[in-house]
Amino acid sequence: MADGGAKILVLTTGGTIDKSYFDALSDYKTGDPQAPRLLEIARVACPYEVRELMRKDSLDLDDADRAAIAAAVAESDAGRIVITHGSDTMTQSALALGEAAAGKTVVFTGAMAPARFAETDAPFNLGMAFAAAQVAPPGVYIAMSGTLFPADRAAKDRARGVFVGK
């Protein structure tokens, strides 16, 4: 590991990764953060801390929420940060970090299907983001669809349900 095993900060904001069924109509709500459970199941030995920032669908995030994410990144002593986030506006939030991420490795990730589902990309994406945070040089990235993208070169292809480079 590049920085001798320093603790990774995991910030949760909601999104599909944290969604669960809400009622008999199959409506969803953003529930408890799933990152702690997924990291425990994966038996992650690297030190980490999980901090919940909010529980929102990314389509409901506004500039004040993005400012709160940026403030949490800027105020943290952690040099390596993973942020779980909804996929619809992940790129927008990643780009909003600006100077808050200076000198830090920040990796956004999420899921196309809730982590509670049997067929979900959540564990893979979180694992990839966690690994990338340990080895990638400082910058802001998106870890989705089996690829690590610089934040300014990622886009969600809604028709295919994957992230692609742009």
Query: What torsion, rounded to 10 degrees, do the Cα atoms 55, 61, 67, 68 define?
Result: -10
In a domain, 150, yes or no: yes
The predicted pLDDT at position 4 comes to: 46
Residue 135, in any domain of the structure: yes
* Eight-state DSSP code of residue 89: T
Q: Which of 12, 16, 84, 89 is catalytic?
A: 16
138 within some domain: yes
pLDDT in tens, the chain (166 residues): 445 458 999 999 988 877 665 555 556 666 677 787 878 888 988 899 999 999 888 888 999 999 999 999 999 999 999 999 988 899 999 999 999 999 999 999 998 877 777 788 888 999 999 999 999 999 999 999 999 999 999 999 988 988 899 8
Residue 2, pLDDT score: 46
Give me the domain span that covers residue 112: 8-165
- In the three-class reduction of DSSP (H, G, I as helix; E, B as strand; rest coil), residue 72 is classed as helix
Is residue 37 a part of any domain in this protein? yes
The predicted pLDDT at position 97 comes to: 96
Domain with residue 154: its CATH number is 3.40.50.1170
- For residue 31, the model assigns a pLDDT of 65
48-56 sheet: strands from edge to edge: 48-56, 8-14, 80-84, 105-109, 139-144, 147-150
- Number of domains composing the chain: 1
**Residue 3 belongs to some domain of the structure:** no
pLDDT at res. 61:
92
16 in active site: yes
Please tell me the predicted confidence (pLDDT) of residue 34: 77
User: Does residue 1 lie within any of the structural domains?
Assistant: no
CB atoms within 10 A of CB 161: 12
Beta strand extents in the chain (DSSP E only): 8-14, 19-21, 28-30, 48-56, 80-84, 105-109, 139-144, 147-150, 154-157, 162-165
